[in-house]
Amino acid sequence: MNKADTDKGKVVIFSAPSGAGKTTVVRHLLDVIDELEFSISATTRPIRGHEQNGVDYYFLTEQEFRERIANGDFLEYEEVYSGLFYGTLKSEVERIRSNGKSVIFDVDVKGGLNIKRYFGEEALAIFLKPPDLDALRSRLLGRKTEGETQLQQRLEKAAFEMTFAHNFDYILINNILNHTFTEAETIVRNFLNNS
């Protein structure tokens, strides 16, 4: 039996409403904690710009994605819009864990809870929460990526998603980013160092 068989990595899940800062926090953790590796998602959306298959996403056709669903290949998936799927392949997670690395996810609330259910005690689920909906609105406005209707939809979805925060292992309020980084590092390192 080799080290990879006896020393599989753990699973760290970050979920949050859009605009709460989960991607920023996850990128920071990847920079400072060597044992973490990011799980690359699969999607049916087209490749954009300089994206690469197997680096940014695993780009699948809708038919390929549906076949993989039927085969039970996904840990979690969601059809965001008709024909537009995103999901986590079990093979991607096992590839990372079998190399002794721990997997870190940046996923929506539903996906995060599904992954936590699947891995149980091997997973740490953190809900990153904005200080309040006004702060979230300001952050989303600062992005300048959506109109008023889209903004309102995101805020309504965020309010709904925040009702699931109590189902996570930790609720981390992202008020001052440097404090959030420090707290996230402490929580994740403690989890990874506990056998």
How far apart (Å, rounded) are the C-alpha atoms in residues 126 and 79? 23
* Residue 3 resides in a domain: no
Cα separations (Å) of 122 from 84, 90, 109, 163?
30, 15, 18, 24
102 located within any domain: yes
Residues 22-68 have pLDDT tens digits of 889 999 999 999 999 999 999 999 998 899 999 989 999 999 999 99
> Can you list the positions of beta strands (E) in the chain?
11-15, 36-38, 42-43, 58-59, 74-81, 84-89, 102-107, 123-129, 170-173
- Residue 5 pLDDT more than 60? no
Q: What is the pTM of this model?
A: 0.84
The contacts of residue 126 (CB under 8 Å, 6+ apart) are: 12, 13, 14, 15, 168, 169, 170, 171, 172, 184, 187, 188
Is residue 4 one of the residues assigned to a domain? no
If one counts every other C-beta atom within 10 angstroms of the C-beta of residue 108, the result is 19
In a domain, 195, yes or no: no
- Which residues are CB-contacts of 89 (< 8 A; sequence separation ≥ 6)? 42, 58, 68, 73, 74, 75
110-114, 120-124, 140-144: least confidently modelled range: 140-144
Q: Domain containing 14 — which CATH number?
A: 3.40.50.300
Domain count, the chain: 1
According to DSSP, the residues that pair with 176 across neighbouring strands are none
Domain hosting 126: range is: 9-190
Q: Is residue 64 part of a domain?
A: yes
